């Protein structure tokens, strides 16, 4: 039997390796991670008191404030905005009369004591989201993307090999190296499984939105 098929409703995930940013951005992010850890101290102290045990920052994630607009992050911010414009165009959207904005940009680092993670979620009211990985290895956590087609879960058939990426896959696991930039539609559900704290895991987040120029000019 010879059948031809065309792949419709495909969800793209864009990836690029940019090593030149690893060292300067890690250095720039150090102080922001340090500040984020300081903000967690009151919670950590209260939790230790409640549980009568020194849990340190177990299960937490140091989450910086906004990095958008800061000069040390200007190059990557402008590049991600440019790439996001191109992605929407390649996906077939008419973005004439729209301007791309970085709505959120921050850095986070999972706890060195383990159990850092992110439950699966989407970034509503945005069009493009992404990560730039600064620290990580095959011993750290990683992003997992879930099939956005909700009706597909009606199929209870098992996959031939869950480790292979096929049309039957319900989730895709990425194991990016430091220096990897990943961009994807914001509607794509994603999360990070529990990290064991064996090695540092640090990455930047991006959320972008295309806004009508008529709204901007009001």
Interior CA angle at 8 toward 4 and 10, to 5°?
A: 125
Cα gap 154→170, rounded to integer Å: 11
Summarised one tens digit per residue, pLDDT across range 145-179 is 999 988 887 777 888 988 888 888 889 999 999 99
What domains are defined for the chain? 14-150+167-216 (2.60.120.620)
**In this prediction, what percent of the chain has a pLDDT beyond 90?**
64
Residue 83 has pLDDT above 60, yes or no: yes
Mean pLDDT of 35-59: 82
Summarised one tens digit per residue, pLDDT across range 101-126 is 999 999 999 988 888 888 889 999 99
Nearest to 202 by CA among 150, 159, 141: 141
Nearest to 117 by CA among 38, 60, 35: 60
Q: What share of the chain is helix, strand, coil (3-state, %, to 5)?
A: 30, 25, 45
Residue 8 has pLDDT above 80, yes or no: yes
Cα gap 217→166, rounded to integer Å: 45
Give me 182's structure tokens.
């990943």
């Amino acid at each position: 039997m010879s059948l031809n098929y065309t792949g419709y409703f495909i969800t793209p995930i864009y990836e690029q390796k940019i090593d030149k940013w690893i060292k300067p951005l890690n250095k720039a992010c150090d102080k922001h991670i340090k500040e984020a850890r300081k903000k967690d101290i009151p919670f950590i102290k209260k939790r230790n008191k409640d549980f009568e045990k020194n849990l340190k920052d177990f299960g937490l994630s140091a989450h910086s404030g906004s990095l958008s607009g800061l000069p040390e992050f200007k190059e990557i911010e402008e590049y991600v905005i440019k790439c996001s414009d191109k992605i929407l165009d390649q996906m077939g959207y008419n973005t004439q009369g729209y301007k791309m904005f970085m709505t959120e940009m921050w850095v986070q680092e999972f706890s060195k004591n383990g159990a850092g993670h992110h439950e699966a979620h989407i970034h509503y009211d945005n069009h493009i989201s992404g990560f730039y990985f600064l620290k990580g290895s095959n011993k750290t956590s990683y992003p997992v993307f879930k099939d956005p087609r909700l009706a597909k879960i009606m199929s209870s058939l098992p996959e031939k090999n869950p480790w292979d990426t096929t049309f039957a896959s319900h989730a895709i696991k990425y194991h990016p190296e430091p220096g990897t930039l990943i961009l994807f539609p914001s509607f794509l559900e994603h999360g990070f499984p529990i990290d064991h704290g064996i090695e540092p895991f640090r990455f930047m987040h991006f959320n972008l939105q295309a806004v009508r120029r008529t709204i901007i000019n009001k």
